[in-house]
Chain A
Amino acid sequence: MSLGHVMATVAVLAGLGLWAIFTQSSMIKLLIGLEVIARGATLAVVAAGVVQRQPGLAQVMAILIITIDAAVVALGLAMVAGARQHFGLPDVRRLTRLRG
């Protein structure tokens, strides 16, 4: 597995995730885009560990990224549930004001 192929995959994943975040309005689609970026970041960390001959440290970093990413997704889906109760559809275009 060449580093060029892995980095190209990382770049495409980051581009796809950014495209979803910039263009989609569904909150769930935004979270899916964030997940795609996180997959690319995890792959980049593991590939960097392999290149620098530190697979153990790279695995530790990847495990931390995966766990924190799951926590972020859970929190985001809780926000989706709240937005759905307020507006009926989790659409970020309807989230125009904040109220404590």
Chain B
Amino acid sequence: MSALPPYATVGQRTWHYTFRVICGLVFFFLIAPIVVIIPLSFNAQDFFTFTPEMLRLDPDGYSLKHYRDFFNNDSWQSAMWNSLKIAPMATIVSVTFGTLAAIGLSQPHVPFRRAIMAILISPMIVPLIISAAGMYFFYSRIGLQGTYIGVVLAHAALGIPFVIITVTATLVGFDRSLTRAAANMGADPVTTFFRVQMPLILPGVISGGLFAFITSFDEVVVVLFVGSAGQKTLPWQMFIGLREQISPTILAVATILVAISIMLLATVEMLRRRSERLRGMSPS
């Protein structure tokens, strides 16, 4: 693919370049919608399209007014704080339980491993609307509906599959003789875990945590049902904004969220490479 052989026919050459153009168009389709909203968020007018001033690159066509609106508007601010209160808590819960379970699951002899795995992954598979409706009824029954704890528990459950998947994947390459060696030298299981195993699987744990974080931070269906006005998160506020009267402030929020995604993506990629390097070092 990378280079055309010198004996390629005209047809082959044409196809080679046509194919690249097709791929380019698909990449454009993937990335353009996300990129386009960034300049639009600096629009000085309340329009959702490029104004003539913007196209002329006139500085008057651009402004930070939508960002100012985001930081001065009470409902957006409280939504942001709610998101920042819920997502880290849900992440901590799912990472704690998830990491322990992942270590258990990667032991050599686990009875009913397949069935357990299927149950633990199910929150990722079951359609969100069904999870949301079920949690709504059940949590109202036990008095958790409309509470902070209820939303945190619901989001933690949704984040767990991601933690399980990433941490078990990291543990596949984990050299078990290291824990045996630690035990041999007199370390108790807790010390072995924190001083030997944890540092080695940390990259997997952190990327699992980031997945759990973004799951909670982006989640809207479950919080719509389980939460009440006091737990209105950023995605919820965006959802209302998009459904009722759409205001250009959403563009500013979207741009900020894209920036956050880029940071998270960069971190996860870095961690993945580091984890691969670490695993390459241990003899297997």
A binds B: no
Residues of B at the A interface (CB closer than 8 Å) are none
